[in-house]
Amino acid sequence: NAGVMQNPRHLVRRRGQEARLRCSPMKGHSHVYWYRQLPEEGLKFMVYLQKENIIDESGMPKERFSAEFPKEGPSILRIQQVVRGDSAAYFCASSPYSANYNSPLHFGNGTRLTVT
Amino acid sequence: AQKVTQAQTEISVVEKEDVTLDCVYETRDTTYYLFWYKQPPSGELVFLIRRNSFDEQNEISGRYSWNFQKSTSSFNFTITASQVVDSAVYFCALSGLSGNTPLVFGKGTRLSVIA
């Protein structure tokens, strides 16, 4: 049973380019969460999605960041016009239960974004 | 507002020593959940335990044990007879039942176990 799959594992972008991070949840999970981990920091919540719906985006920066979880395919976290401050590890997690943050979240291995 | 504090940024111990990682939390919810996650050098996050606010019994799993003290808002994690493979960053996290608040993480404690 495959876990949460994130790709790419490492992503290097120049300032101004776009970054697209992908997350496939565990089989049977229809709830996806994105977290960002800055160097030497804990994880900060960004957004919670169900299929075709954004449930909570209270942690998303107001500009340049967007997320989707289409009916088919992986969840995508998109960062437009990246800046050096976007360099971080981005983790995706999934859970099988509806609107329940108390489920143990199963995390992917993360995507490490480096902006040069 | 919910907050998790892990005051120990880094801890180093010699193999076979016992070590306790501290976690103090703040929440206004009467029902909430506490978690510990492990992040080894490879970078993934590994779920270790979930505890709800109504269950104050201590839990032991092999060399790991957790001490939940509601009176002091603490959820400490002890590793007995530490091993080099325990070297990792350990995160404590909190989630409130009301309002569907997302998981709030502490900044983590980096544990180094030296052979």
**Residues of B in Cβ contact (< 8 Å) with A40:** 107
Look at residue B2 and tell me whether its pLDDT is greater than 70.
Answer: yes
Look at residue A1 and tell me whether its pLDDT is greater than 70.
Answer: no
A102:B45 CB<8 A: no
Question: Which of residues B102 and A12 earns the better pLDDT score?
Answer: A12
Q: What is the pLDDT of residue A96?
A: 78
A34 reaches B (C-beta below 8 A): no
pLDDT tens digits along B54-64 = 888 888 889 99
For an interface test with A, the pick among B94, B103, B104, B105 (most A C-beta atoms closer than 10 Å) comes out as B103
Look at residue B98 and tell me whether its pLDDT is greater than 70.
Answer: no
Query: Which whole number is the average pLDDT over B102-111?
Result: 92
B37 reaches A (C-beta below 8 A): yes
A43 reaches B (C-beta below 8 A): yes
Contact A21, A38 (CB under 8 A): no
Contact A31, A25 (CB under 8 A): yes
Torsion of CA B13, B36, B39, B84, to 10 degrees: 30
A105 reaches B (C-beta below 8 A): yes
Contact A7, A92 (CB under 8 A): no
Residue B35's nearest CA partner among B102, B84, B110, B112 is B102
